[in-house]
Structure 1
Amino acid sequence: MYIPEHFNETNSERISSLINGNSFGMLVTAPDGEPYVSHLPFIFDHTAGTKGKLLCHMARANPQWQHFSSSTEVLVVFQGPQAYVSPSWYSSPGVPTWNYAVVHLRGKPRLIDSEFELEALVERLTHVYESQMPNPWQANLAGERRTKLLNMIVGFEIDITTIQAKFKLSQNRPPEDRQSVVEKLGQSSNQTEVAVATLMSEMFDAEF
């Protein structure tokens, strides 16, 4: 990913926050040079290993898990909020552009073969997303149904080797232009645009 220095994000807390808030990522592999993409919900464990670990599962019928090998890295992309920025919002000359935040994680995948580990992974994923519900659903799987459902999925983890984060949020503009972009996007009826304004405010709060 092309990242000019002023858009390069290295703050681990902001990176983790973006991944956790936009955890439906894109898993990219390229067997024999042909790109293959799956859209999947991930858990990011930033405390595991040297750079963190991703946990996930996919349908066994999805052939992508067969692309995994100990010698090949995969790419996972997490897209944060994004919004068009008009040069009419600037007090100084500018051009139309786009503000956005995105994280690319590369790493070595490992299939989870143990049924015990796989069930624990499913329970962990379920807990993460069901904990936001007013009446969280409980799996309570047992017997043949449990075995059948677990056999229908493939669990895996990715040991992260490289983290790239690009937060393009008007850092190359004067403070008054950044403030204007925050105000314009913050007034939008589009919640994604409001999210960009919020992210910008968090980054530049000390200046404003």
Structure 2
Amino acid sequence: MYLPEHFKVTDLAKISELIAAYPLAMLITISAAGEPLANHLPLLLDGSVDQGYRLLGHMARANPQWQDFSTSHEVLVTFQGPHAYVSPSWYKGSGVPTWNYAVVQVRGRPKIIDDETALEALLKQLTDSQELQYDTPWNLTLTDDQRTKLLGMIVGFEIEITEIVGKFKLSQNRPLADQQGVVDVLAQSSNFYELEIAQLMQNNLSI
């Protein structure tokens, strides 16, 4: 990923916040034949500074991508956050049209989770991470028949993270007055992503 220094984000708190808000990731692998394959999957960032971080997820067993997993080869994962077109007419000075956005890119080594107990615990962790935002969260409880059928249809995995970096392109290369001009316009939008970019820019306005 092309990453000018003024757009680079290494603050794990900011990175974690974006992943939690936009968990649907693109998982990219290369097959033994050298062919790229990409799938969109919701992933969960798990871990700590002391123990290291990993991404957790699962896919349909019928999806061939898991067969490309190898601990000797890294995979690439991208998380796409909010984005918005930026018109040069919003600047105090001159400029050209551009696009502001926030993304996170992760590299890591995948490992398949085969153990049935561990796989069920993974499903519960992934489900709870989304359900806990609701007043009456749905709880994953499986009968023996359901467990056998469901777990046989999916492949769980974790990705041990070797590199994680964010790119928050928020007009930081422009004078502060121009940054504020972009925020002022986008903050009036009815578009969700434009409002999110405006808020993200406002939070990082002095960078």
* Structure 1 residue identity aligned to 2:10: T
Tell me, in whole angstroms, the C-alpha distance in 1 between the residues paired with 2:63 and 2:50: 28
Name the TM-score, length of structure 1 as normaliser: 0.95
Matched to 1:192, the amino acid is Y
Partner in structure 1 of residue 5 of structure 2:
5
* 8 Å Cα contact 1:16-1:46 kept in structure 2: no
Aligned to 1:120: 121
Distance 1:50 1:124 in 2: 18
SS of the aligned residue for 2:9 comes to: coil
Deviates more, 1:92-101 or 1:39-48: 39-48
Alignment of 1:161-180 (within 5 A): 161-180=162-181
Query: Does the CA contact (< 8 Å) of 1:51 and 1:162 recur in 2?
Result: no
Structure 2 CA distance for aligned equivalents of residues 158 and 88 of structure 1: 43
Shift of 1:51: 4.9
Three-state SS of the structure 1 residue aligned to 2:204 is helix
SS at match of 1:150: helix
Determine if contact 2:111/2:159 at 8 Å carries over to the other structure: yes
Letter in structure 2 aligned against 1:133: Y
- In the TM superposition, residue 49 of structure 1 has moved relative to its aligned partner by 6.5
Give the CA deviation at 1:50: 6.1
Distance, in Å, in 1 between the alignment partners of 2:196 and 2:70 is 37
Report the equivalent of 1:18. 18
Calculate the TM-score normalised by the size of structure 2: 0.95
More off after superposition, 178-187 vs 12-21 = 12-21
Partner of 2:194: 193
Provide closer, same or farther for how the CA distance between residues 48 and 42 of structure 1 changes in structure 2, counting only shifts above 3 A: farther
Moved more, 37-46 or 168-177: 37-46
CA deviation vs aligned residue, 1:111-147 (integer Å, no higher than 9, x gap): 0010010000001111111112332222220111211
Deviation at 1:78, TM superposition (A): 0.2
Question: What percentage of residue pairs aligned between the two structures are identical?
Answer: 56
1: CA distance, partners of 2:101 / 2:29: 24
Separation (CA, whole Å) in 1 of partners of 2:172 and 2:51: 29
Q: Number of matched residues?
A: 206
Higher normalized strand content (fraction of residues) = 2
The CA deviation at 1:70 is 1.5
Separation (CA, whole Å) in 2 of partners of 1:51 and 1:96: 40
Q: CA RMSD in A?
A: 1.5
Matches within 5 A, 1:1-208: 1-31=1-31, 32-47=33-48, 51-204=52-205, 207=206
| Partner secondary structure for residue 136 of structure 2 | coil
Q: Residue 52 of structure 1 contacts residue 159 of structure 1 at CA under 8 Å; is this kept in 2? A: yes
- 1:100, 1:27 → 2: CA distance? 19
Which deviates the most, 50-59 or 64-73?
50-59
Residue identity in the other structure for 1:189: S
CA distance in 2, matches of 1:140, 1:16: 28
- In structure 2, the CA distance between the partners of 1:112 and 1:55, relative to structure 1 (3 Å rule), is same
Q: What amino acid does structure 2 have at the position aligned with 1:113?
A: D
Going from structure 1 to structure 2, the CA distance change for 1:38 and 1:49 (only over 3 Å counts) comes to farther
Q: Deviations over 1:63-96 (max 9, x none)?
A: 0000001211101100010000000000111000
Q: 1:141 aligns to what SS in structure 2? A: coil
SS at match of 1:116: helix
